[in-house]
Amino acid sequence: MPVEVAPAIAAATMEITVSQFELLRELTATQGVVERKTTIPILSNYLFEAAGDKLSLTATDLDLSLRTSCNAKVKKEGACTIPARKLHDYVKLLPDADITIRLLENHWVSIRCGRSNTKMVGMAKSNFPGLPVFPSAGAIKIPAAVLRSMIAKTGFAIASEESRYTLNGALMVLKPESITMVATDGHRLAHIERTGEKFEGVSGEMKTLIPKKAMDELKSLLDSHSENAVETIDFAKDESTLFFRVGQRLLTSRQLTGQFPNYEAVLPKDITKSIALHGEELGAAIARVAQFADERSRAVKLRLEKGELKISASSTETGDSEDSIEVAYDGEPIQIGFNAQYLIDFIKATGSCDVKLELKDAQSAGQLRPAESEDYKYRYIVMPMRI
């Protein structure tokens, strides 16, 4: 039947011209999603689809997919797949000029730019997995700057052990007038809340577990868009998929299922000792002392005494080290051990602002938070170590 033949012929003869600068920008944005070590070869490829005056690019590893687009002069509409890493590495080396991409026979693709002429081996477009479609209703607008800040302040605390499945992501809680994000790996917990935002379409409490890889990709999308001033992102979800639309880019992620731990039970209630510190000074002292911490435990000892905080570490292999910081404190002495890296992670995330260290006793979790923080309520809880 001629009706069915026509699209097949059109699909086999794609031809477009696109600027190297624009194409490279989108190829770079999708690199994190492209499957590196895959047993399914098509996942190492981009899907290119040309229609109207746009080239759409899609990359997926089945858990995560990113769909983006750039302007193109479309001579012949159609679609093809191209090896993603090789294309990115090649386009990066081309001059900032127009590139013509044309589909040849047997899924080969011709790429011409100035005097450069390359043919790449593609694969049948029909092998490329189908992708979820952004829900037509129920999208929620989240301020991009807020989400970016929250991911930066919690993402590092997500567990990387595969066995702790529900900890391999962060919990985002949306309420009509607030957004909260929580991440924990069982040894530390980062919790940030922002009130005073209006979230249209949210009633009660909407909880979403966002996988670590989706958090990382979302952060790099928001970082790359921060100069281009994308003010809000569209967030939606269905039974199995999360959708984040950042500008013209759409990130989709398989949802994490399962129960996130009851984090509210961990938040310290009865803190008795609180000291203010310069984040930069504390971070530098911990970094120095940590050079002499046990390599496996990374434990440093904090001893709070009248007027000073002593930070020390020792190991039989490397020696021992102590630093001290002047503090306004005249309570009972207290000694507690922490993983140095956990403390440094927090200081990096707060951008070296002044911080408060809050303790109860040597057996209870310690809490760190920015000394002044009106916009966000940010707290970081670290379990103590035996030293």
**DSSP per-residue letters across 231-283:** -EEEEEE-SSEEEEEETTEEEEEEPP-SPPP-GGGTS-----EEEEEEHHHHH
Q: How confident is the model at residue 223 (pLDDT cuts 50, 70, 90)?
A: confident
Q: How confident is the model at residue 120 (pLDDT cuts 50, 70, 90)?
A: very high
Spell 139-154 as b/e; 16+ CB within 10 A means b: bbbbbbebbbbbbbbb
Q: Determine the Cα–Cα distance for residues 311 and 289; give it in Å rounded to an integer.
A: 7
Q: Which residue has the tokens 């510190």?
A: 277
CA contacts within 13 A on the Cβ side of 194: 18
Q: How confident is the model at residue 148 (pLDDT cuts 50, 70, 90)?
A: very high
Mean pLDDT along residues 101-124: 96
pLDDT at 159: 85
Q: Could you read off the pLDDT of 57-104 as tens digits, one per residue?
A: 999 999 999 999 999 999 999 999 999 999 999 999 999 999 999 999
Q: Determine the Cα–Cα distance for residues 186 and 261; give it in Å rounded to an integer.
A: 9
Which of 349, 353, 350, 357 lies closest to 384, judged by CA?
357
Query: Which pTM does this prediction carry?
Result: 0.89
| Residue 254, amino acid | R
Mean pLDDT along residues 10-28: 88
Whether residue 4 is predicted with pLDDT greater than 70 in this model: the reply is: no
Domains of the chain: 2-127 (3.10.150.10), 140-263 (3.10.150.10), 269-382 (3.10.150.10)
Q: Which of these ranges, 10-24, 53-67, 112-126, 242-256, has the smallest mean pLDDT?
A: 10-24
Tokens of 219: 């952060």
Mean pLDDT of the chain: 91
Q: Determine the Cα–Cα distance for residues 61 and 321; give it in Å rounded to an integer.
A: 46
pLDDT at 228: 59
Whether residue 267 is predicted with pLDDT greater than 90 in this model: the reply is: no
Percent of the chain with pLDDT over 70: 94
Instruction: Return the number of other C-beta atoms located less than 10 Å from residue 357's C-beta.
Output: 24
Q: Determine the Cα–Cα distance for residues 177 and 63; give it in Å rounded to an integer.
A: 31
Q: Determine the Cα–Cα distance for residues 309 and 325; give it in Å rounded to an integer.
A: 5
Instruction: Return the number of other C-beta atoms located less than 10 Å from residue 320's C-beta.
Output: 12
pLDDT at 39: 83
Whether residue 204 is predicted with pLDDT greater than 60 in this model: the reply is: yes
Q: Could you read off the pLDDT of 298-352 as tens digits, one per residue?
A: 999 999 999 999 999 999 889 999 999 999 999 999 999 999 999 999 999 998 6
Whether residue 1 is predicted with pLDDT greater than 60 in this model: the reply is: no
